[in-house]
Amino acid sequence: MRRLLKFLHTMGAIGLMGAMAALLVLLGRAPSPTAIEGYALIRGAMGAVATWLFLPSLALTLLAGLLSIAQRAFHNAGWAWAKLATGVVMFEWGFVGVQGPMQEEARLSAEALAGRINPASLGQDLGSERGTLWVLLFIATLNVVFGIWRPRLIRRPQPAS
């Protein structure tokens, strides 16, 4: 069971970091919101990446990580608790800073393309989306570092001599 959880956690992390990298590339290649056809196409693709790659990978990584830390072997491991704390940050920011805004901007750009809303309201949060993705990518990389090198973050008290 332990190996299966480790495999699932690793596969989820690969998908999660790949999705964030893809979203950063798409953000960098996105045309101005005034070029509504191209902008709506890119934002639709970003919404799909957020929905079908980012979110399932985030869920798989978090679920496998939580099930792993439930094992006694990790209860005294400081690095495992650090990964849990950063995993909660990833989960929260993943929904609030990535998933929600990506889906909403994809919906709004489709509405603007159809002529139902003013295209001037698009692209207001491009800088914050980019910043959020970079921060989450850094945190995910930190989690990989914790998982590989497993630094001792909590020192056990020495037995009395």
Q: What is the pLDDT of residue 155?
A: 58
Cβ atoms of residues 134 and 97 within 8 Å: no
**158 lies in a domain?**
no
Q: What is the pLDDT of residue 154?
A: 60
**161 lies in a domain?**
no
* Helix 36-49 vs helix 100-113: crossing angle, to nearest 10: 150
Token pair of 31 as six digits: 């045309």
Q: What are the CA-CA distances from residue 121 to residues 34, 36, 129 (Å)?
A: 10, 11, 16
**42 lies in a domain?**
yes
Distance of CA 127 to the CA centre of its chain: 17
Q: How far apart are CA 28 and CA 109, in angstroms?
A: 17
Q: What is the pLDDT of residue 158?
A: 62
**124 lies in a domain?**
yes
Token pair of 15 as six digits: 């998908």
* Helix 36-49 vs helix 2-29: crossing angle, to nearest 10: 170
**97 lies in a domain?**
yes
Cβ atoms of residues 47 and 16 within 8 Å: no
Q: What is the DSSP letter of 61?
A: H
Q: Which amino acid, residue 57?
A: S
Q: What is the pLDDT of residue 8?
A: 95
**15 lies in a domain?**
yes
Q: What is the pLDDT of residue 70?
A: 85
Provide the domain count of the chain: 1
Q: How far apart are CA 31 and CA 78, in angstroms?
A: 44
pLDDT in tens, the chain (161 residues): 889 999 999 999 999 999 999 999 999 999 999 999 999 999 999 999 999 999 999 999 999 988 988 887 777 777 888 888 898 999 999 999 999 999 999 999 999 999 999 988 898 888 899 999 999 999 999 988 888 887 776 655 666 76
* Helix 78-93 vs helix 55-69: crossing angle, to nearest 10: 150
**156 lies in a domain?**
no
**3 lies in a domain?**
yes
Query: Taking the CB of residue 151, how many other CB atoms lie within 10 A of it?
Result: 11
Domain, as residue range, for 120: 1-145
